[in-house]
Amino acid sequence: MERARTTDGYRTLIALAAPIAGIQLAQVALTSVDLAMLGLIGVSAVAGGGLAILLYNQIRTMCVGMVTGVGNLVATAAGAGERRAGTGETDDQARQEIRTLLRSALLVATLTAAAGAAVLCGLAAALPLLGQKPEIVSLARAMMFALAGGLFPMIWLNVLRQFAVGLRRPGSLLAVTLVSIAVNAVLNLVFIHGWLGMPALGVAGVGLSTTVVQFFTLTVFAMAVRRDAQLRPMVSLAAWRADPQVVRQIVRHGTPICFTYGSEAAITSIATVLMGLFGPVMLAASNVANQLAYIVYQVNIGLSQGSSILVSRAVAHEEEYRARAIARHAFTLSWTLMAVVSLAYLAIPQVLLSVFLSGGTDAAVLATASSLLLFAIAQQYSKGTQNILVGLLRGLGDTKSGLRSTLVGYWLVGVPAMVLCAYGFGWGGWGVWAGLCTGFAATAVLLGRRFRQRTA
């Protein structure tokens, strides 16, 4: 019986986490294809465009954080409705609460995307102040302007995703992901080279194609939600009918998550800026190694959000004791995957990197990126673990511990460690990555201690 319950626990978590990871991978696939296309242009394009992608991911991550808690709020409302009804189905009161949550979340998403786009454009204008070379600034700036508009469909998509996940109906975007990758690749070539009568936009065309595909992915997922018989009665896209009180609730819940995610992305962005100070080769190599690690990281995001939703529902059913079992399942799945990926990094690094680096790429970039993959192994374990812990705590209603832990782990440990290892010890770019891994590990330790205290 215990084995059956354990198996069901893994199956439930995988069924919820896999579609979430799939949507995350759909987003990352766009920037991964972009980076591969930039490799066809040259090392400067990889350096400048990669910098733009990382800064875009910084803003994108914070925007997503503002609405990530919507899934927990929906799950809690649904679980409470099930407990009241006693039938395993939500009651009318819960359905009305969920419709209000969706409308209000879409308004929050729109305002957040507008703020994010303004910040991204501001960062593009401020790039010369960060010490980057003029050529890199020019390329990165053009791409960041093109990416800014894509924040709107991206965050609307995440609201719909959290709505569906909170109701344990995440759906599948595998087919959409594959189509999006293909469409993005074709549009990249069209906009880069000016095919089909389009102007040749170069690096800026790569960002524009990603924005266009974001709208495509949103449309397809919205249609899938509308077709779901269980979700359709609770779908309400009338953001102008948002409840001010619920909007404030979402903002209060989402703000710590936003800054927690932003803190995580910010330390990576700072590391990228520091890498740029060691030259285009080191920056290009770091961008490629980071993108590989970022792809794998999306699975941990799926496990984090999936386990978070399961904990929220357990709390709503007054079964908070299940949190530790859910955590055990999530970590087992995560660490197993990380072990497989680590072996691939060690065994076939050049094969993996060749996806982003063309045959004409400087051999120094390939060699440097191969060595950085060793640091990526440590980063994936520590970063993945801390992200799952943030999700588990969010499921328990604790969104502030993640922010407090990241402030200490990243800014009091990680950033000083990057500077010390890079300049004090003279390790250069490799020192930046060593300090980055140290910051993630410190944060994971702090979050692990908090989770044990919370579930004792």
* Alpha carbon separation from 350 to 292, 293, 359, 429 (Å, rounded): 12, 14, 11, 19
- pLDDT (0 to 100) of residue 118: 96
- pLDDT (0 to 100) of residue 361: 53
Q: DSSP for 265-304?
A: HHHHHHHHHHHHTT-HHHHHHHHHHHHHHHHHHHHHHHHH
Q: How many domains does the chain contain in total?
A: 1
Side chain identity, residue 434: A
**Cα–Cα distance measured from residue 150 to residue 117, given in angstroms and rounded to the nearest whole number:** 9
- pLDDT tens, N- to C-terminus, the chain (456 residues): 344 344 457 888 888 888 878 777 776 777 777 777 887 787 778 788 878 887 888 898 889 989 988 989 999 888 888 888 766 677 788 889 999 999 999 999 999 999 999 999 999 988 888 777 788 888 889 899 999 999 999 999 989 988 988 888 877 666 666 777 888 888 988 988 888 878 778 888 888 888 998 898 889 888 888 888 888 889 888 888 899 999 999 999 899 989 888 888 788 878 888 888 888 888 888 888 887 888 888 889 889 988 999 999 888 888 888 899 999 999 999 999 999 999 999 998 888 887 777 655 567 788 888 889 999 999 999 999 999 999 999 999 898 888 999 999 999 999 999 999 999 999 988 999 999 999 999 999 999 999 999 888
- pLDDT (0 to 100) of residue 5: 45
- pLDDT (0 to 100) of residue 6: 45
- pLDDT (0 to 100) of residue 172: 63
- pLDDT (0 to 100) of residue 52: 87
**Residue whose structure tokens are 């300049």:** 423
- pLDDT (0 to 100) of residue 419: 94
- pLDDT (0 to 100) of residue 359: 55
- pLDDT (0 to 100) of residue 307: 92
Contacts 24+ apart (CB under 8 A), 314-320: 314/395, 315/76, 315/79, 315/395, 315/396, 315/397, 316/75, 316/76, 316/78, 316/79, 316/80, 316/82, 316/83, 317/79, 317/82, 317/83, 318/83, 320/396, 320/455
* Alpha carbon separation from 313 to 101, 194, 367 (Å, rounded): 16, 51, 47
Q: Rounding to the nearest 10 degrees, give the CA dihedral for residues 137, 208, 351, 281.
A: 0
- Structural domain of residue 268, as residue ranges? 2-454
CB 105 within 8 A of CB 70: yes
